[in-house]
Amino acid sequence: MNVIAMSVRRAFALPLLLLACSAASAAPPAVTAIKAAHLLDVRSGALVDNAVVLVSGERITAAGSRLAIPDGAQVIDLGNKTLLPGLIDMHTHLTGDPQDAGYSIIAKSIPRITLTGAKNARLTLQAGFTTVRDVGADGYADIGLRDAINDGDVPGPRIAASGPPLSITGGHCDDTMHAPEYKQTALGVADGVAEALKVTRRNIKYGADVIKICATGGVLSFGDDPRTSQYTLEELKAIIGDAHRLGRKAAAHAHGGDGIKLAVLAGIDSIEHGSYIDDEGIKLMKEHKTWLVPTVYLGDWLIDNAEAIKLPPPLLEKARVVLPTARLNIARAIKAGVPVAFGTDAGVYPHGLNAREFGTLVKLGMTPIQAIRAATLNASELLGWTDKVGTIEAGKFADLIAVDGEPLKDVKTLESVRWVMKGGAVVNQ
């Protein structure tokens, strides 16, 4: 009986040993080495030739020229390509598509827009944007999407999410498409200091990384004027103060000059859009070191495609006035040295085209390296994630992209990203 038992044990032991050996041989290498002809050092603005980046797990362990590659490392040779840090878009709406600027959004449920977000997250990541800030989604759908990506359920960029943006009743970011009898009000509506504090704290309770405030009217909303302010200075100070006290940044949708100034004086971290910024606003933003997140390429796409997406005539009329004006004022702000972080408002135009913003920023006066820094160094600073993303340096997440050619000579090469790595895993090649 003992002999039989020993024979059975041996019979089972051999396959198990072979399985263990097979699993060990299939284990990923301890180090991955990425080789490329060039690497853009976004701090210095210099190209590093014969680049090697060493990655272990999710993190970069070393980066430089002609680094020694450890024995047994997996080598990814990108040939003549140029490596850059994964790009960062500070103003997206992943759960929206361009056609949602019209009445069709009324028919979309929260589950439906969440699935739209999953599609757009994948497109955004494949376009080379490994980190985004999502600044406004119904029903906390952006927060759910962020968590699903973090859990590995769906592919997508790292997300700093805001949840429902704060708005005054009837303002931009309130629901202005329903008739009065439906009594429809957006989830983020808050009037007065007490309500504003409650909604701010509720957003944080449900997972918001950043608090989004609609400080002025907007373009894609009915019955409001983008030039007019919405929240008072007292309300803005309460919202922003609470956000900061609770460890969150705050971003203000602000087209109009007065709304920009009020938000800056209240301590806002970033002004989104800035279409009617004037000399006083420029001066205040420089003094307070407030970031400007211009979203200028969308003007081309939205006006050219207004008929195709059935943009309601009152909204198109506003777009034709505000968006060209924004370019003139943003160019003045750039020339004056207002700090700029990259943002697109993707969702107003198709996700995946985010990099078209680079060419527009260069047309408005930025050099290619300034535009690239806006989407790497500057954006990581505004996020508060300088220890995680924004550069190719030891200790940072292995978020990398590769392009053909040299983006310092032609920034539009970033519109055709050929290879993407997020957290040490190749996601597009």
Choose, from 35, 81, 212, 318, the residue flagged as catalytic. Answer: 212
Strand order in the sheet with 270-273: 210-214, 249-254, 270-273, 291-293
- How far does CA 367 lie from the centroid of its chain? 21
Determine how many CB atoms are found less than 10 A away from the CB of residue 72: 8
Provide DSSP, 354-409.
TTHHHHHHHHTT--HHHHHHHTTHHHHHHHT-TTTSSS--TTSB--EEEESS-TTT
- Contact assessment for residue 284 and residue 337, using Cβ atoms and an 8 Å cutoff: no
Active site residue 345: yes
Distance CA 227, CA 299 (A): 17
Q: What angle in degrees, to the nearest 10, is found between the helix axes of 233-245 and 192-205? A: 30
Closest C-alpha among 29, 80, 59, 126 to residue 419 = 126
> Can you count the helices (H) and strands (E) in the chain?
12, 15
Q: Which residues are CB-contacts of 81 (< 8 A; sequence separation ≥ 6)?
A: 36, 37, 38, 402, 403, 404, 418, 419
Residue type, position 209, single letter: D
Of 100, 174, 175, 345, which one is the catalytic site residue?
345
Pairing of strands 400-403, 82-85: antiparallel
What is the separation of C-alpha 215 from the centre of its chain, rounded to a whole number of angstroms? 20
The dihedral sign for the CA sequence 162, 164, 167, 172? positive
Is residue 291 within 8 A of residue 339, CB to CB? The reply is: yes
CA 414 – CA 246 distance, rounded (Å)? 36
27 conformational bin, left if phi > 0, alpha if psi -120 to 50, beta if neither: beta
Distance CA 411, CA 61 (A): 28
Catalytic residues: 212, 345
